[in-house]
Structure 1
Amino acid sequence: MAPRVLVSDQLSPTAVQIFKDRGVEVDYLPDLGKDKDELLAVIDKYDGLAIRSATKVTEKLIGAAAKLKVVGRAGIGVDNVDIPAASRRGVVVMNTPFGNSITTAEHAVAMMFALARDLPAADRSTKAGKWEKNRFLGVELTAKTLGIVGCGNIGSIVASRAVGLRMKVVAFDPFLSAERALEMGIEKVELPELFRRADFITLHTPLTDRTRGIIDAAAIAQMKDGVRIINCARGGLIVEADLVEALKSGKVAGAGIDVFETEPAKESPLFDIETVVCTPHLGASTEEAQENVALQVAEQMSDYLVHGAVSNALNMPSITAEEAPILTPFVKLAEILGAFVGQVTEDPIKEIEIVFDGNVAAMNTRALTSAAVAGLLKPLVQTVNMVSAPLMAKERGIRISEVRRDKSGIFDGYVMLNVKTERMARSVAGTCFADRKPRFIQIKGINLEAEVGRHMLYITNRDVPGMIGAIGTALGRNRVNIANFHLGRDREGGDAIAIIYVDEPVAEAVLQDLRSIDGIVQAKLLSFEL
């Protein structure tokens, strides 16, 4: 029986035809995504669901979708998809990460021009029969400083356009290296300096726990008087109430807002301020971008449903059907090793070396490298996947190298990840045993064997008596249950590490309690997707 796909949002006729041409039955019901009850009633008939932003793929919807194998988002943002719920049910979630990059970047630049010359207000005034030439005194963009928060794929396109306009560009991005910034003709700075220097600020970062409310009253207080702020990335990056107050006081001269805390935004205090330009999430809305992402999602979903090929998946590595039985556990291992480094390393990473030892060296190491880099970048770039990770690393000036070598230790094969920053080097290694479960076998050159858990505590300490008891007492005092406790040290009385598998995430107060113990140097909570 041919797989069946529901298209519940607007998609181009060409994309619908791609499904049909590739042997997939398709029901094109572009308004169904707006009716969650009706969608819930019919979703169990479909193997695939193709969406844009209107359809909300909730845990309840996924639970009702007995046959669902894949959700395809025509676009990059997947805020409307419950990815953990999909993963638990074995539903692949795909997006099209690069189809609308230029379009979104151009919209941000258009916002910048509109703010600089008061174009929307001048248009309304002139059409009202007024001729207020002296009222609309704008500013030039030439020689002004543009601050870009997030210099990935879209941010780097904005940077190149701004350099062409003879603007000075400063950028904040934890993964942007100084060398890559120099190549682009821009300057890498920390966020407070960007706030202090920028005449215009544009946001191009995903919405994460770290970036939510990145522009709030405290941030605005650090900015120049008369700064202009643009957000074509994600609602929630700006605390809208704080922005409204800054606009009313004149601290912020204008704002270009394409995305809102709540969408669709039918009302907002921002709408009443003349110096604010608002658009209804149009960043990806050009004919070219809409067509590109629609065609891409149709091709990707068809390839998966018909042939089992996975590309641009956010919750599953890209592996061919032939490779899957052997490669899949090592792909997960590589992703976990990358996630470990990404969570414990705070400085921008300059180099990544991935060592494939023994029988792992004969596998599809490109997939393993992509998985490791995706895991490393994911703490800051949640939409990264195996396909987009190498390009994202390249854009940030991260050098990636692979080393394949014959068996060199007691394990038949393992993966080691070595990274370098400006100030330090770090390494972590792991392998998979017959049970196909990933395990850490070395951290910072210290040998140990630790099964990977969903939530783990990573502790570095001096090798002194009583440390195990002190750690256990602190966790017991805070009612944290230990599933496994693994130790290692480089030498007697030297540096030691503990990696502890716990049942639930621990609060920051627990980490602070551990850090207060004499002899503990570092205590971090790590989370892994298993």
Structure 2
Amino acid sequence: MNCAKRAQVGLVRIVNVACGGHLMYSLNPKDSMLVLHENVTASPYLGASTIEAQEGVAIEIAEAVVGALKGELAASAVNAPMVPAEVLSELAPFVLLAEKLGKLTMQLVAGGSGMQSVKITYASCRGQDDLNTRLLCAMITKGMIEPISSVFVNLVNTDFTAKWRGLKITEERIVLDGSPEKPLERVTPPDGLPHLTMVGSFGVDVSLEGHLTLCEQVDKPGIIGKVGSILGVRNMNVNFMIVGRIAPQKHAVMTIGVDGEPDTESLKQIGEIQAIEEFCFP
């Protein structure tokens, strides 16, 4: 019996029906009928009952609060989507990726203007019932909502904030079994950082670290040079540039990495290039 921190009421009745178990009591009675009962095993309440324990609990709580305010995962949170430690270690590489993809999603749809629903698809060799995606879904939602929200968004209020904004989040799980329709493919980035491999139907391979500019454009000569010149005049160093396309001289996606954040004038000039239909700076 785990009764309470306060003094128990009706001890005689409890003793009469006692048939074993554990009891916590508010004081340390020496001659209590409960303690002396042969079918009762009594133990003191161990909720930080010593000065050392109280100090340890206080430090642990303070560290958890500071971590949560920084946006870190709080293992002891009761109202956040948490997962077992062994599952968390498996999902850890995808947590940062999920948040960055959420931010990128909002940029790709004109800052989320008018967006009413988002569908998240997970492809894994794990069975549908064996794939815990609560944390990943929360991180994607956080990444989408945080840039356009006037309130602080964290793992606790992501669902509420999404519903308040009228945004419906749905999930789909696809089990990859190695068949031609659902092939297995393992991609390991050499730098160990989150990578973006597809934008729509366009294949790319870029790290999501640092400053990126994505341009949807007509694939024609001179576009790369024009964008590079605009950034160069502003002393913005381009560290990589990748173009994903399906066929020559058709639509393409150009991904540009720069060492710093482009200023407003640079972005304006890039947007004025005739062949560039849409671009974003996530």
Q: Give the shorter-chain TM-score range.
A: 0.5 to 0.7
Task: Report the equivalent of 1:371.
Answer: 139
Structure 1 CA distance for aligned equivalents of residues 193 and 79 of structure 2: 24
Q: Does 1:401 align with 2:170?
A: yes
AA at the equivalent of 1:371:
M
Instruction: Give 1:455 deviation, angstroms.
Output: 1.7
CA gap 1:27/1:319 in 2 versus in 1, 3 angstroms = closer
Measure, in 1, the Cα distance between the counterparts of 2:248 and 2:184: 23
1:440 Cα deviation (Å)?
0.8
Structure 1 residue 410: deviation in Å?
5.6
- Secondary structure of the residue aligned to 1:349 is coil
Q: How many Å separate the matches in 2 of 1:433 and 1:489?
A: 21
How far off its partner does 1:327 sit? 0.4
* Per-residue deviation, 1:324: 2.4
What is the match of residue 8 of structure 2?
none
| The one of 254, 262, 280 aligned to 1:506 | 262
Within the candidate set 520, 524, 527, 2:276 is matched to 520
Q: Cα RMSD over matched residues?
A: 3.2
Q: 1:357 aligns with which of 120, 123, 143?
A: 123
322, 329, 344: which one pairs with 2:108?
344
- Give the AA of the match of 1:348: G
Secondary structure, in 3 states, of the residue corresponding to 1:309?
coil
Is it true that 1:448 corresponds to 2:204 in the alignment? yes
Between structure 1 and structure 2, the one with the greater Rg is 2
2:248 is aligned with 1:480: no
**Offset at 1:450?**
1.2
Q: Which of the residues 47, 51, 65 maps onto 1:71?
A: 65
Give me the TM-score of the superposition, normalised by structure 2. Answer: 0.68
Contact 1:432 1:438 (8 Å CA) reproduced: no
Cα separation, 2, equivalents of 1:312 and 1:480: 44
Relative contact order higher in (CA < 8 Å, ≥ 6 apart): 2
Which of 71, 87, 93 is equivalent to 2:69?
Answer: 93
> Letter of the aligned partner of 2:168 in structure 1?
R
Say whether the 8 Å CA contact 2:142–2:158 is kept in structure 1. Answer: yes
CA 1:400/1:27 → structure 2, altered by over 3 Å: closer, same or farther? closer
Secondary structure (helix, strand or coil) at the match of 1:357 reads strand
Matched, 1:461 2:230: no
**1:333 counterpart residue number:** 97
Q: Which residue of 2 aligns with 1:490?
A: 246
CA distance in 1, matches of 2:219, 2:190: 33
The residue type paired with residue 141 of structure 2 is V
Residue 510 of structure 1, CA deviation: 0.8
Alignment CA distance shift 1:26-1:406 (3 Å): closer
- Separation in structure 2 between the aligned mates of residue 338 and residue 27 of structure 1, nearest angstrom: 35
C-alpha distance in 1, partners of 2:89/2:270? 41
Q: Pick closer, same or farther for the CA change 1:434–1:500 going to 2, 3 Å.
A: closer
Q: Structure 1, unaligned stretches of length 5 or more?
A: 1-18, 29-45, 50-68, 73-90, 96-302, 413-430
CA distance in 2, matches of 1:485, 1:496: 13
Alignment of 1:7-86 (within 5 A): 20=48, 23-25=53-55, 49=62, 69-72=63-66
TM superposition shift of 1:449: 1.2
> In 2, Cα distance between the equivalents of 1:93 and 1:312?
15
SS at match of 2:69: strand
User: Do the aligned partners of residues 461 and 404 (structure 1) sit closer, same or farther apart at CA in structure 2, a change above 3 Å counting?
Assistant: same
CA positional deviation for 1:398: 2.2
| 1:370/1:20 CA distance change after superposition, 3 Å | same
Cα distance in 2 between the residues matched to 1:508 and 1:337:
23
1:399 aligned partner, one-letter code: K
Aligned residue for 2:148, secondary structure, equals: coil
Q: Is the 8 A contact 1:457 1:525 kept in 2?
A: yes
Distance 1:469 1:398 in 2: 39
Report how many residues are paired: 224
| Identity value in percent | 25
State the distance in 2 between where 1:435 and 1:20 align. Answer: 44
Deviation digits for residues 455-495 of structure 1 (CA, Å, limit 9, x no counterpart): 21121211111212222222112111122222212332221
The TM-score normalised by the length of structure 1 is 0.38
The residue matched to 1:403 in structure 2 has which SS?
A: strand
Cα deviation code 1:30-52 (max 9, x no counterpart) = xxxxxxxxxxxxxxxx5554xxx
Residues 293-339 of structure 1: CA deviation (Å, up to 9, x unaligned)? xxxxxxxxxx95xxx435678xxx84442222210111221111111
Say whether the 8 Å CA contact 2:125–2:184 is kept in structure 1: no
Q: Distance in 2 between matches of 1:502 and 1:349?
A: 29
Partner Cα distance (2:118, 2:135) in 1: 15
Structure 2 unaligned segments of length 5 or more: list them: 1-46, 177-181
Aligned to 2:154: 385
Deviation at 1:399, TM superposition (A): 2.1
- CA offsets 1:66-115 (integer angstroms, 9 cap, x no match): xxx4435xxxxxxxxxxxxxxxxxx44279xxxxxxxxxxxxxxxxxxxx
